[in-house]
Amino acid sequence: MDERIKYMQQNDLSIIVPVLNDIEHIKKLIIALLNQTKLPMEIIIIDSSDNKKIEKLLKNKIFSYHNIDKSLPGKSTNYGVKISKGKWIGFLDSKTIPKKNWIENYIKYINKKKYQVVFGMTEFSSKTKFQELIQFASYGNIPHETFPGTIVKKNIYLQLKGLNEFVRAGYDIEWRNKIKKLNIDYFLPSKPYIVYSAFPSNLFDLIKKYIIYSFHTAKIDIQKNTKDIYLS
């Protein structure tokens, strides 16, 4: 048995990654996960793509790969949790890249204070002037609390009945708000462990994203300020 596989099986953390037709970003994510200073027990990829590119990429890799019918992120994530083996669950998506000490430091946070949830802390970066404008209008230069990067005790996730499966956006904020309202012991790191740099690269993609996200977040009435800024 490969030594890396042995090491992974010694841990009690499952990482869930839903992906849909995003081959270029998933390549970067794979590298980041396999270079963590502490590896998880398993990395579960839930792929609802309409082609075989990601399946071929992950063939013979150290991943638990599952192909499902096209679905929204909440449904894919919930499916991943259902089949996971770990007592703890970590969440990423294909566009959120963890720093190499993400898992190791989060486990330290959990062990130190016995937290049941450690939220993701994400920094945002841009590659072009257009993306800089979007970043300024949405997140700015400060890190933000996010669902990607979060590690939670599996029984807590199941207790909350997982993510909303019927919206494309806003499901993550809705889930984090549940944690806070129920006074579950959680922690938010002061520094970022996740990097996001996949802002739309042109006006057409931005408008498309705005329309889709506005439609879905309207269903759960969140992110009004962000939507207003995008519209402006």
Confidence of residue 27 (pLDDT cuts 50, 70, 90): very high
What per-residue confidence (pLDDT) applies to 166? Answer: 86
| pTM of the entire predicted model | 0.83
For residue 61, pLDDT over 70 is answered with yes
CA–CA distances in Å: residue 229 to residues 24, 45, 116, 157, 174: 29, 33, 34, 32, 20
Q: Is the pLDDT of residue 105 over 60?
A: yes
pLDDT in tens, 192-208: 999 988 666 666 565 65
For residue 126, count other CB atoms closer than 10 A to its CB. Answer: 18
Percent of the chain at pLDDT above 70?
80
Position 201 scores a pLDDT of 63
pLDDT at 13 over 70: yes
Confidence (pLDDT) at 215: 47
**What pLDDT is recorded for position 127?**
81
Percentage of residues in the chain having pLDDT higher than 90 = 56
126-157 residue pLDDT tens = 787 877 787 777 777 889 999 999 999 999 99
